Amino acid sequence: MKIKKKVWAILGVTALVLTTTAFTAVKKAAFPKPSGPHSVGTLQVELRDDSRAGRKLLVQFYYPAQAEPGAISPYTTHPEQMEENLNALYGVPRPLLRKITRATVPVQLNAEPAAGRQFPLLVFSHGYNGARSQNSFLLPELASQGYVIASIEHTGASSGAVFQDGSRGGITPFDSLMSNEAFSNQEIEKWTLDQSFVLDQIETLSRSGALSFGHLLDLERVGAFGHSFGGATSAATLTRDARFRAGINLDGFYFGDYYKTGFSQPFLELRADNKRPEEMTDQELKEWKFTREQYRDFLFDEWGRRIGSYARKGYESYTIRYANHMSFSDFSLMMPFAFLTAPHRREHHRITIHFVLDFFNRNLKGAASAELPEGLDSYIRNQAINKGRKAS
């Protein structure tokens, strides 16, 4: 009898562990309430650029608002579209994708805008085949701290866009960028034109009163930033559109030729903690589809040459310990068994928020530099403050 009781006890504990583990593996991601003094509203706008064959874009805005306490909004308007595309592109199981696509974000849809003052505008671009909502850990937080954010979904390489007429944004295999320089140059050109077009439209809609929060915008203080290909786009945009006064790249290789022209605006890059070339195994190089020399050139040598050429008056660069490419987005939140697969994801999000907010506060609001929050200093592996080129 005692043996039977022990067996049942063991089976009961095992069942509980398995149930808890399964629940944790598919539990929806939790996005903390933004910590700034403003509550946050959001709305979506569809734009059409008739000068480029009617190119359509979806733009998600986040803005300081008079939102109701506890308000939430869906992570994305068409989760099934995002799941289908990311599963097709990268083979990510749909249950894991649903951890973020079916989550909610603590912002209020179409909330009444805040009153009494104006705020800088930040234009955000996602990674290649990403989505306008892919940095929901970051964008609402910035809005709560006194910014208006316009997050563009770039048609042709967007996992979540569904337009009013039912058409979709479409996706493009990432290998197309890596294997075809002419194509990657073309895509950078297209995306940087998207950023400038969106700013044009915001200026027009604000003047006409068509944007409910248009009175909030200080269009003399505008920044560009993005993740991955969107970060590279933001660097390119600074070279061709002086309205953007500062820029940030969250771990994006500098595709395109705009680095040959360069910019003079303040610039920040945050980088993943990539292994040195000599540390890479043959299997890891195979997964990257690189030789050891190509890996060194792409992630170290050529990367350094291009940012050095881009930033004529200098830049700030931080390599974040334990971070991978997706650590600067929401995608780390869908990893199962986070204590094993992404144990530092919350710290990576906190440090990303700190650097992005501090940089834009200094360069768009004239604020003093803020101290790194306690406990995060150990996450800085490398720090570089480049002073730029000396005058000849």
pLDDT-based confidence at 25, cuts 50/70/90?
low
Q: What is the residue range of 97's domain?
A: 31-386
For 258-294, the three-class secondary structure string (H helix, E strand, C coil) is HHHCCECCCEEEEECCCCCHHHCCHHHHHHHCCCHHH
In a 13 Å sphere around the CA of 95, the CA atoms on its Cβ side amount to: 7
- Is residue 19 situated within a structural domain? no
Q: For residues 167 and 46, is the Cβ–Cβ distance under 8 A?
A: no
* pLDDT for the residue numbered 322: 96
Rounded CA-CA distance 190/204 in Å is 21
Residue 8 has pLDDT above 60, yes or no: no
- Is residue 23 situated within a structural domain? no
Provide the CATH number for the domain around residue 205.
3.40.50.1820
If one counts the domains in the chain, the total is 1
- Is residue 100 situated within a structural domain? yes
Q: What is the pLDDT of residues 187-212, one digit of tens each?
A: 999 999 999 999 999 999 999 999 99
CB neighbour class for 53 (10 Å; exposed up to 12, middle 13-18, buried from 19): exposed
Query: Nearest 5°: CA angle at 386, between 380 and 387?
Result: 145
- Is residue 17 situated within a structural domain? no
Q: What is the pLDDT of residues 358-388, one digit of tens each?
A: 999 999 999 999 999 999 999 999 898 887 7
Q: Look up residue 328 and give its two tokens.
A: 């600067």
* pLDDT for the residue numbered 23: 43
Q: Look up residue 190 and give its two tokens.
A: 């297209």
- Is residue 6 situated within a structural domain? no
- Is residue 4 situated within a structural domain? no
User: Average pLDDT, whole number, for the chain?
Assistant: 92
In the chain, % of residues over pLDDT 90: 85
* pLDDT for the residue numbered 339: 63
* pLDDT for the residue numbered 340: 66
Q: For residues 188 and 255, is the Cβ–Cβ distance under 8 A?
A: yes
* pLDDT for the residue numbered 319: 98
* pLDDT for the residue numbered 17: 33
What CA–CA distances, in Å, run from 10 to 1, 4, 18, 21, 192?
14, 10, 12, 16, 60
- Is residue 69 situated within a structural domain? yes
Q: Average the pLDDT over each of 126-130, 281-285, 338-342 and give the range with the smallest value.
A: 338-342
Q: Look up residue 83 and give its two tokens.
A: 């799941």
User: Please, which residues have CB within 8 angstroms of residue 3's CB and are 6 or more apart in sequence?
Assistant: none
- Is residue 13 situated within a structural domain? no
